[in-house]
Amino acid sequence: MPFPDLDRRLADIRERIAGAAKRGGHGQATTIVAVTKTHGPDVPAAAFAVGLVDVGENKVQEALSKMAQVTAPVRWHLIGHLQRNKVKSLQHFSLFHALDSSRLADAVDFFGTEREAPVDVLMQINPAREATKGGYDLSEVEAEADRLAAMKGLRVRGAMTIARFGADERELRETFAAVRRTTETLASAGHPATENSMGMSADYELAVEEGATLVRLGSVLFGARVP
């Protein structure tokens, strides 16, 4: 195993998640998505060996390369931005976290309709309006939720965000609460939306307190990533 202390790290994380759920939380169960980007194919296998079934990758090509070498039956999540000309790659993933624009939604809908099986997605929001990040502005959510509800080629399972680097606790909580409200808006529009994908290695405990059902953890599990 490339990380002999991975089981210990995971036990500590699960304990912290349980503590966060007691402090806050919204009665939700929280799933860990092990982020294996920049690591080799041995890492998803190591994650599965300690009970982590869900694995997240940021880039399609890196993910596909690993899939060809990983025999463990993990569930692959695409958590990074996707170009519209690569939507067919979504057939390899159980959940796409980063539906970040109307144009991408149209492309995903076309693909899902064409293959006669909807793509499970999360709506990515950008509460801080960071120019360097994708995602819907909060003012767009309600109208887009209604528009997406008419699409047969995708299934919106909830919402996702990436908190602003350097945000203080108050901003983090506001950001995570915005995800929770977005998922509620999606559900009200008729989507099967229950998932709140938020929180990474530095802030996952706050995210759980605010209702995270999916936390995307990399360095806290596997150490610093290779540049």
Q: How does pLDDT run across 8-17, given as a tens digit for each residue?
A: 999 999 999 9
How far apart are alpha carbons 111 and 161 in whole angstroms? 24
User: Residue 77: CB partners within 8 Å, gap ≥ 6?
Assistant: 33, 54, 55, 56, 57, 93, 94, 95, 96, 97
Residue 226 has pLDDT above 60, yes or no: no
At residue 4, the pLDDT reads: 77
Rounded mean pLDDT, 115-131 = 96
| Cβ 61 vs Cβ 80: under 8 Å | no
Other C-beta atoms within 10 Å of 70: how many? 21
Q: Which amino acid is at 76?
A: W
DSSP conformational letter for 125? B
The pLDDT score that the predictor gives to residue 224 is: 72
Between CA 111 and CA 118 the distance in angstroms is 8
What pLDDT does residue 77 have?
98
Burial 104-131 (b: 16+ CB within 10 A, else e): bbbbbbebbeeeeebbbbbbbbbbbeee
Query: Model confidence over 80-109: pLDDT tens digits?
Result: 999 999 999 999 999 999 999 999 999 999
pLDDT at 227 exceeding the cut of 90: no
- Is pLDDT at 3 greater than 80 in this prediction? no
Whether the full predicted model's pTM is greater than 0.85, yes or no, is yes
Could you give all domains of the chain from N- to C-terminal order, each with its CATH number? 6-80+92-218 (3.20.20.10)
pLDDT tens digit string along 205-223? 999 999 999 999 999 999 8
Alpha-carbon distance of 191 to 213, in angstroms, equals 17
